[in-house]
Amino acid sequence: VSTIAASHAGLRDPELAQRLRGALGTRPRRLPVECFYDDLGSALFEAITYLPEYGLTRAEWRLLCRHSSDIARLVPSALEVVELGSGSGRKTRLLLEALARRRPLPYRPVDISAAALEACRREMAGRTGVTVDPLPMPFLEGLSAAIEMRAPSSAVLVLFLGSNVGNLEPPERDRFLSAIRRRLRRGDALLITADLEKDASTLEAAYDDDAGVTAAFNRNALARLNRELGADFDLAAFRHRALYAARERRIEMHLVSERDQTVRIPALGLVIALAAGETIWTESSYKFRRGDLAALGRAAGFSGTAAWQDDEWPFELALLVAE
Ligand SMILES: C[S@@+](CC[C@H](N)C(=O)[O-])C[C@H]1O[C@@H](n2cnc3c(N)ncnc32)[C@H](O)[C@@H]1O
């Protein structure tokens, strides 16, 4: 039983419902990324991280194994860690253990998924020196709340892992990084990761695995609209599709309507007609090149202090410091 109540009213949250109405009600039809993460969606995402095709999590794990002590040397020892979209925090534990070797470490995971935060709290339970204070909120609200709690003499290290930055559209991404920077003070830091571009077939398999877990994760977003908003999506009439758009350097995940159909979403006051072959675009996952994170950081007011890559599954980890 989850003991962390999400401050969020799920898909009925007025701000999210408003965005959902706009995204689904106009073409191309889309879904906000938050729609994935109810308890079931969080469990399915955790399963994705174990898939043989999904190399991202293992690459990030290897980078954190190799470089946590380098990171600990590069950040101030009076430190508080805030993680945006922590999920289960399974990989973060490696870094927190390295940081907490120096002195006690407050850790504030921010996530809209109560189930993810509960898993994260369990993951960290009993780790020497780490105090966990979960914040069930959207990213920037959670960061602001964490900043209000900071001890005046501590620096803040913000974590944005899992190549989460790739789920933001470029203009939104730039605004988001600047919004993080505005909440920080000089000397605070941002540790961020990005999946690097690789061949299309490897990427498409990572988002369309043989066991069908990613397809289930994708379809669960519609199942959630049925459960929480009284929608009548016939899930069997939608096919999962992942394709790599090389020019835009992004994986696109879609749910393709297999036939002409009309769907009602009473809680949004919406009736949508989908033609056979029309898609609901559920997620973009942008891919990057070496050095992109430092450049994005510079544009948002950070200096790139260090960056490390995994060669087995091209992936980048960068430490950016607020100037
Ligand atoms: C792709 S998962 C990554 C989880 C973890 N960082 C990892 O690397 O395995 C994204 C996480 O961010 C959370 N999330 C998505 N959008 C969010 C938002 N707007 N505010 C807060 N959390 C969000 C989800 O609930 C989910 O746990």
pLDDT for the residue 304: 84
Residues within 6 Å of ligand 1 by CB: 33-34, 37, 42, 45, 49, 57, 85-87, 110-113, 116, 138-139, 161-162, 164
Predicted confidence (pLDDT) per residue in 235-262, tens digit: 999 999 999 999 999 999 999 999 999 9
Centre of ligand 1 from the C-alpha of residue 113, in Å = 8
- The predicted model scores a pTM of 0.96
pLDDT for the residue 1: 38
Between 304 and 301, whose confidence is greater? 301
**pLDDT-based confidence at residue 7 (cuts at 50, 70, 90):** very low
Residue 305 has pLDDT above 90, yes or no: no
Predicted confidence (pLDDT) per residue in 168-206, tens digit: 999 999 999 999 999 999 999 999 999 999 999 999 999
Predicted confidence (pLDDT) per residue in 102-143, tens digit: 999 999 999 999 999 999 999 999 888 999 999 999 999 999
- Distance (Å, whole) CA 12 – CA 81: 30
- Distance (Å, whole) CA 111 – CA 247: 32
pLDDT, averaged across the chain: 96
Q: For ligand 1, pick from 54, 86, 117 the residue to mutate: most ligand atoms within 8 Å of CB.
A: 86
Centre of ligand 1 from the C-alpha of residue 213, in Å = 17
- Distance (Å, whole) CA 164 – CA 323: 23
- Distance (Å, whole) CA 57 – CA 47: 11
User: Which atom of ligand 1 is found nearest the CA of 87?
Assistant: 27
Q: CB–CB of 154/185 below 8 Å? A: no
- Distance (Å, whole) CA 215 – CA 151: 44
Reduced to 3 states (helix: H, G, I; strand: E, B; else coil), residue 177 is helix
Predicted confidence (pLDDT) per residue in 44-56, tens digit: 999 999 999 999 9
| DSSP structure class, residue 182 | H
Q: For ligand 1, pick from 111, 158, 169, 175 the residue to mutate: most ligand atoms within 8 Å of CB.
A: 111
Neighbours of 287 (CB within 10 A): 21
- Distance (Å, whole) CA 288 – CA 299: 16
Average pLDDT over residues 17-34: 96
